[in-house]
């Protein structure tokens, strides 16, 4: 259960030795344990890379997709919404399936679905097919993401676990930087379809590598068979909630479509809670909901989501719609956000070994707040180098440190058989907050007299939320200090 690599186990090592002779030959200068750790880091990092990369490139390519397929401005947001609804609705089910049937198996299934969605998107000739492909991608991500984090959370010792979390954050930084730059290059050069097809190659390679590297045994001590009725109710409830949140930007909070989605979401979620209370194998056992480490991490999570995800969404739009950047120029201008994530990842490991995680997270959120203040001033003051670039660097650095701190803490108290469920809850909160961030910031940006003023107010809202959540993480972390083993 504790080993993440197949084959025989060395008594001196806490990680199994790879059976493949070619792996030893390719990395002849490393010890068996180093080979194992390297391969585990690669497959888990690539999984995070493709998730971040895909999100960024779609945002950069969005204006070109809209023009090519004849999408209206509001309909174009369905490229984001279709993915978010499927992802947010299926995370709980995906995480619990990993606990029951084996995390490698569910991770590979998720990556395979993700690849299928990318291939369909690359060949889509109509908006409905592209939206369907994006939903399939979201479904695949819902199976892959919580199980990749569950695998990392089971690693020992803690210092090695933090290093893997850092390497995953580095991969996310590369995905952000690569997504911005490569997305611009591909959109202007070969066209937006190759944005999806290129990502499919990388995700497919990650799926193949996972079957060779990660342990394929099922979690026999895990929960019973996941409740399919509860899974449907969570999909309907959470999916409708995401849809309602995203409809705020398109139709308004009090619009009939928005209110209908909210009401139906509440009804399905109430039914889900009732079902869970009487289920022998609930998707979210009550012990997970009582996990103080999980909720300590969640307390500060909205701040980094609004800061990083919000900037990743409205930043490229601001540069293209207000500053007049082309897609390639936008990608190059936004690349430093990913570079900053690369810089922040090793810093996170260093400070987490010396300071309490809540202090580290709060300080990182202050960096995000400062960066957002720089961006808030950018719409009214000319100068990429004086406002946009420093803002992106501060946000990227702060986000990397925050995410590594939260990821490390979230599963630190969980049972080995609950890691998938814990990170499913964690990621559900994260992606619901992401949908709320996109809807809120889009509404704020569109509600002002000019786009420049609207984007300035949107960055201000993000700065307030980042600061508030940084303070919340510090307070909650201090109150639960004796209860968390991170």
Continuous H helices in 279-388: 286-289, 292-304, 310-321, 327-352, 357-377
**pLDDT for the residue numbered 402:** 92
Considering only residues 343 and 169, tell me which one the structure prediction assigns the higher pLDDT: 343
* Residue 257 banded pLDDT, cuts 50, 70, 90: confident
Minimum mean pLDDT among 141-145, 209-213, 254-258, 424-428: which range?
A: 209-213
User: Most distant CA pair in the chain: distance in Å?
Assistant: 68
Token pair 């930043």 is found at 315
Q: Tell me the pLDDT band of 485, cut-offs 50, 70 and 90.
A: low
Average pLDDT over residues 265-281: 88
pLDDT tens-digit profile of 354-376?
A: 888 889 999 999 999 999 999 88
Contact 176, 152 (CB under 8 A): no
Position 221 confidence tier, pLDDT thresholds 50, 70, 90: very low
Range 110-127 average pLDDT: 87
Quick one: pLDDT at residue 365? 95
Closest alpha carbon to 233 in 277, 291, 287: 277
pTM of the model: 0.76
3-state secondary structure of 221: coil
Q: Average pLDDT for residues 210-218, to the nearest whole number?
A: 69
More confident residue, 30 or 226: 226
In which band, very low, low, confident or very high, does the pLDDT at 88 lie, cut at 50, 70 and 90? confident
CB–CB of 78/130 below 8 Å? no
384-396 burial: b if 16+ Cβ within 10 Å, else e: eeebbbbbbbbbb
State the pLDDT at residue 16: 37
- Mapped onto helix, strand or coil, the DSSP state of residue 179 is helix
Q: Which helix (H) or strand (E) holds 146?
A: helix 127-153
Q: What is the phi-psi region of residue 31: left when phi exceeds 0, alpha when psi lies from -120 to 50, beta otherwise? A: beta
CB 375 within 8 A of CB 402: no
What CATH number does the domain located at 37-215+281-483 have? 1.20.1250.20
pLDDT of 394 > 90? The answer is yes
Residue 332's Cβ-count burial label (10 Å; 0-12, 13-18, 19+) is middle
**Cα atoms in the 13 Å half-sphere on the side-chain side of 43:** 27
Instruction: Compute the average pLDDT of residues 306-321.
Output: 84
**How sure is the predictor about 264, in pLDDT bands with cuts at 50, 70 and 90?**
very high
- Res 242: pLDDT: 78
Name which of 11-15, 123-127, 473-477 the model is least confident about: 11-15
């Amino acid at each position: 259960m504790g080993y993440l690599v197949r084959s025989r186990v060395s008594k001196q090592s806490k990680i199994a030795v790879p059976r493949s002779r070619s792996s030893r030959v390719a990395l002849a200068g490393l010890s068996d344990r180093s080979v194992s750790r390297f391969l585990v880091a690669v497959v888990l990092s690539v999984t995070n890379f493709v998730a971040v990369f895909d999100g960024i490139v779609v945002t950069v390519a969005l204006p070109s997709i809209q023009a090519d397929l004849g999408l209206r401005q509001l309909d174009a947001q369905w490229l984001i919404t279709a993915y978010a609804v499927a992802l947010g609705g299926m995370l709980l089910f995906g995480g619990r399936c990993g606990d029951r049937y084996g995390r490698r198996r569910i991770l590979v299934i998720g990556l395979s679905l993700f690849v299928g969605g990318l291939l369909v998107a690359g060949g889509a000739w109509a908006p409905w097919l592209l939206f369907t492909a994006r939903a399939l991608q979201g479904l695949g991500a819902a199976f892959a993401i919580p199980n990749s984090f569950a695998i990392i959370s089971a690693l020992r010792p803690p210092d090695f676990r933090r290093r893997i979390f850092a390497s995953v954050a580095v991969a996310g930084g590369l995905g952000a930087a690569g997504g911005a730059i490569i997305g611009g290059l591909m959109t202007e050069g070969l066209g937006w379809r190759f944005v999806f097809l290129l990502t499919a190659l990388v995700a497919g390679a990650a799926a193949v590598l996972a079957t060779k590297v990660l342990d394929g045994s099922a979690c026999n001590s895990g929960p019973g068979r996941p409740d399919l009725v509860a899974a449907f109710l969570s999909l309907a409830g959470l999916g409708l909630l995401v849809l309602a949140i995203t409809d705020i930007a398109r139709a308004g909070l009090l619009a009939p479509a928005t209110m209908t989605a909210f009401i139906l979401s509440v009804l399905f979620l109430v039914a889900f809670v009732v079902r869970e209370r009487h289920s022998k194998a609930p998707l979210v056992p009550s012990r997970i909901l009582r996990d103080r480490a999980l909720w300590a991490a969640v307390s500060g999570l909205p701040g980094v989501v609004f800061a990083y995800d919000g900037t990743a969404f409205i930043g490229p739009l601001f540069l293209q719609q207000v500053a007049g950047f082309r897609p390639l120029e936008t990608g190059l201008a936004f690349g430093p956000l990913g570079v900053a994530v690369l810089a922040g990842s090793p810093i996170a490991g260093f400070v987490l070994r010396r300071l309490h995680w809540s202090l580290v997270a709060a300080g990182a959120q202050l960096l995000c707040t400062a960066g957002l203040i720089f961006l808030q001033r950018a719409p009214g003051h000319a100068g990429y180098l004086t406002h946009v670039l420093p803002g992106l660097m501060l946000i990227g650095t702060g986000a990397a440190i925050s995410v590594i701190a939260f990821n490390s803490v979230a599963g630190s108290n969980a049972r080995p058989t609950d890691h998938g469920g814990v990170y499913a809850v964690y990621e559900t909160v994260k992606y619901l907050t992401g949908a709320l961030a996109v809807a809120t910031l889009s509404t704020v940006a569109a509600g002002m007299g000019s786009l420049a003023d609207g984007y300035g107010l949107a960055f201000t809202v993000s700065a307030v939320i980042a600061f508030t959540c940084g303070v919340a993480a510090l307070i909650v972390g201090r109150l639960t200090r004796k209860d968390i083993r991170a």
